[in-house]
Chains A and B, each alone.
Chain A
Amino acid sequence: MELPLSENRRMKVDEFDSGKMLTHAARQAKDRNYKDFPIVDVDSHHYELESFNEILEYMTDPVMRQLAQSANAGNSKGVGVMPGGVGYQDMGGRVTRYPLRRIEKPEPGAHRDVSLTRRWMDAMGVDVAVMFPSPMLQLGLHPQVEAEVALAWAYNRWLCERVLAEEPRIRSMLYLPFNDPEASFRMVKEFAGKKGVVGFMVTSARHRPVHHNSYMKVYAAIEELGLPLAFHAGYNWNEQSMALMNKFISVHAIGFVFHNMVHMTNWVLNGIPERFPKLKVIWIESGLAWLPFMIQRLDNEYMMRSSECPALKKLPGEYITEMFYTSQPMEMPRDMSLLESTFKCIKAESQLLYSSDYPHWDFDLPSTIYDLPFLKDKAKRDILGGNACKLFKLGLGGQKLAKVA
Chain B
Amino acid sequence: MAEVFVAKVDEFPDGERRIVSSGTHEIGVFHWQGQFYAYANMCLHQGGPACEGVIMHKVEDVIGPDRTWVGQKFSDERVHFVCPWHGYEYDIKTGECAADKRLRLKKYNVVRRGEEIYVSV
Contact = CB atoms under 8 A, between A and B. Distances in A.
A and B held together in a complex? yes
Interface of A: 3, 5-7, 9, 11, 21, 23-25, 28, 91-97, 361-365, 367-368
Contacts of B42: 24
Contact of A91 (B47, B48, B57, B87): B87
Given A365-B47, A367-B47, 11 more contacts: A6-B56, A7-B57, A11-B54, A24-B48, A94-B53, A94-B89, A95-B85, A361-B86, A363-B86, A365-B46, A367-B46
B84 A95 contact: yes
B82 interface: yes
A94 B46 contact: no
Contacts of A21: 49, 84-85
Given A95-B85, A362-B86, A6 B57 contact: yes
B56 to A, nearest CB: 5
Contacts of B53: 94, 96
A96 B47 contact: no
Contacts of B57: 6-7
A7 B74 contact: yes
8 contacts: A5-B55, A6-B74, A11-B55, A93-B54, A94-B56, A363-B85, A365-B46, A367-B46
Interface of B: 15, 42, 46-49, 53-57, 74, 82, 84-87, 89
Contacts of B47: 24-25, 28, 365, 367
A271 to B, nearest CB: 40
B86 A95 contact: yes
Contacts of B82: 91, 94
Given A9-B15, A362-B86, A96 B54 contact: yes
A28 B45 CA distance: 13
A164 B75 CA distance: 48
Contacts of A96: 53-54, 84
B77 to A, nearest CB: 12
Nearest to B89: A94
Contacts of B55: 5, 9, 11
Nearest to A93: B54
Contacts of B85: 21, 95, 363
A367 to B, nearest CB: 7
Given A24-B42, A24-B49, A368-B46, A3 B54 contact: yes
Contacts of A362: 86
Contacts of A11: 54-55
A367 B82 CA distance: 21
A95 B87 contact: yes
Contacts of A361: 86-87
B26 to A, nearest CB: 8
Q: Which of B15, B47, B74 has the most CB of A within 10 A?
A: B47
A362 B54 CA distance: 17
B76 to A, nearest CB: 9
B79 to A, nearest CB: 8
Contacts of B15: 9
A97 B84 CA distance: 7
B89 to A, nearest CB: 8
Nearest to B49: A24
A120 B87 CA distance: 19
A368 B57 CA distance: 30
A19 to B, nearest CB: 13
Nearest to B47: A24
A5 B92 CA distance: 15
A91 B48 CA distance: 16
